[in-house]
Amino acid sequence: MRWIFLLCIAFSLMPDSAVAQPHLWSSSSLGEALFITPETLVLGDAGVCYTGCGGIPGVPSANADYEQQVIELVNAQRLANGNLPPLKRVDTLIDSARYHATDMGQDNYFDHDSYDRVNGALVRVCGTWDRVLAYYGSGWNALAENIAAGYGTPADVMAGWMNSSGHRANILNPNLREIGVGYATVSGSSYGRYWVQNFGSKSTRYPLVINRESAATDDYHVSLYIYGAGTWIEMRLRNDADAWTAWQPFRSQVEWTLPQMKGMHTVIVEMRNSNSSATSSDTIYLNRDYLATLGNLSATSAFIYSIPEGQFMPESLVVSPQNTTSAETLVWTVAQSGNWFTLSSTSGSTPDSITITPYLAGSPVAGTVTGSITVTVMQPLNTRNSPQRISLTLQVIEVPMRRVFLPLVCRDF
């Protein structure tokens, strides 16, 4: 039988010099101490030693996707319960949560405080906030922690927390701005799976959150939430290393457009009032490419004309411009350089094609002539690889063309 336990600590509002000790309203029983590192963690590589209060950054995760799912579920609950602002994922709180989740599993205990095994016995080494602040640092004005053990999935543990008044209050606390989640699996421990949520807020930090802290999106139109109402008068934004927008009145909620290229994008906001300024940023991965790309065109094409045979090879060439990254229709034009071929069309749209047909006026003379066509996309604007030039050559020869026939052999394996 797998036992499941929950513990929470309500947020604390106090100066850094008066760090609160946690009030534990429940505890779990502990079995025999087992020092087994989960297969998903390579502790030596990370340089993390699970003794003491932590503080070393870069704590590895047993399942980063599970942790991200919990963050997104937290923000979904905050939206559904009073349209509360989303929490921002921060690495320091993630490290604190991961450290504690792993430490509980490796030393086989279940508590907000941190313990080490000394000669098989549990020894308390630091309080909850000592460990959290070893990562989160000074300047905070609100902290909270939820822990759980035994739950198998992010949905399960979130249901458990939301059905408990203390944990629910932490998740829906309007005074919190930032979050970190840790998940650990430790074979041989009492509960196998350990979950930690660390929450925080700093008065000098004004998070920007994209799409309620989703890791990825299919749509380049996104929603931003920016903390700082009542503090900042103006703001300006930008994507990645692009140019800033003009300064505009500060707003907490903004509809924004990402670059239409697949990949990771960063949105940056700069805020100011008459006395000071601050910046904040967030990242999100765009799963698909929306920018059109002109493609399916070769860089060169060639024709041969045999004077004795009076024949071209090939007799014509079909070119089909395509949008190789999205379903958007390309509207194109074609410019011609050279007077020894004709084009079936000088404009069109996908999936139209262009037929290039060579010809010779007058008596042909052995040699090589050149030309080109240039395909330019008129719509949509900013189509990549536009314009694109295809170089053409015509070789006129005085001998018959040699034709080689190769047999095709099919085998039934």
Task: Give 298-314 pLDDT, tens digit per residue.
Answer: 999 999 999 999 999 99
Whether residue 335 has pLDDT greater than 70: yes
Average pLDDT over residues 212-226: 97
| Beta partners for residue 184, in sequence order | 194
Instruction: Report the pLDDT value the prediction gives residue 33, as an integer from 0 to 100.
Output: 19
Q: How far apart are the first and last CA of the chain?
A: 53
Instruction: Report the pLDDT value the prediction gives residue 14, as an integer from 0 to 100.
Output: 30
Whether residue 131 has pLDDT greater than 80: yes
Whether residue 411 has pLDDT greater than 90: no
Task: Give 229-287 pLDDT, tens digit per residue.
Answer: 999 999 999 999 999 999 999 999 999 999 988 999 999 999 999 999 999 999 999 99
Average pLDDT over residues 88-109: 97
Q: What share of the chain is helix, strand, coil (3-state, %, to 5)?
A: 15, 35, 45
Computed over every residue of the chain, the mean pLDDT equals 88
Whether residue 23 has pLDDT greater than 60: no
CA distance to 83, 129, 174, 243, per residue, from 164 (Å): 20, 22, 18, 47
Whether residue 363 has pLDDT greater than 50: yes
Instruction: Return the number of other C-beta atoms located less than 10 Å from residue 379's C-beta.
Output: 12
Nearest to 39 by CA among 161, 174, 184, 245: 184
Class of domain 208-286: mainly beta
Task: Give 288-298 pLDDT, tens digit per residue.
Answer: 888 889 999 99
Same fold across 64-202 and 294-397: no
Whether residue 50 has pLDDT greater than 50: yes
Q: Does domain 64-202 have CATH number 3.40.640.10?
A: no
Instruction: Report the pLDDT value the prediction gives residue 22, as an integer from 0 to 100.
Output: 28
Sorted by where each begins, the domain ranges of the chain are: 64-202, 208-286, 294-397
Paired tokens of 150: 């035994």
Query: For 311-370, what is the HEC assignment?
Result: EEECCCEEECCEECCCCCCCEEEEEEECCCEEECCCEEECCCCEEEEECCCCCCCCEEEE
Whether residue 39 has pLDDT greater than 90: no
Query: pTM for the whole thing?
Result: 0.71
DSSP for 144-200?
Answer: EEEEEES--SHHHHHHHHHTSHHHHHHHT-TT--EEEEEEEE-TTSSSSEEEEEEEE
Paired tokens of 78: 């905050």
- List the single range of 2-6, 359-363, 371-375, 400-404 with lowest mean pLDDT: 2-6
- List the single range of 47-61, 209-223, 255-269 with lowest mean pLDDT: 47-61
Spatial separation of the C-alpha atoms in residues 151 and 163, rounded to whole Å: 14
Instruction: Report the pLDDT value the prediction gives residue 21, as an integer from 0 to 100.
Output: 27
Spatial separation of the C-alpha atoms in residues 39 and 132, rounded to whole Å: 25
Average pLDDT over residues 323-330: 90
Whether residue 152 has pLDDT greater than 60: yes
Q: Crossing angle, helix 128-136 and helix 91-107, to 10 degrees?
A: 140
CATH of domain 294-397: 2.60.40.3170
- List the single range of 13-22, 90-99, 120-129 with lowest mean pLDDT: 13-22
Spatial separation of the C-alpha atoms in residues 236 and 244, rounded to whole Å: 6
Of the two residues 27 and 179, the one the predictor is more confident about is: 179
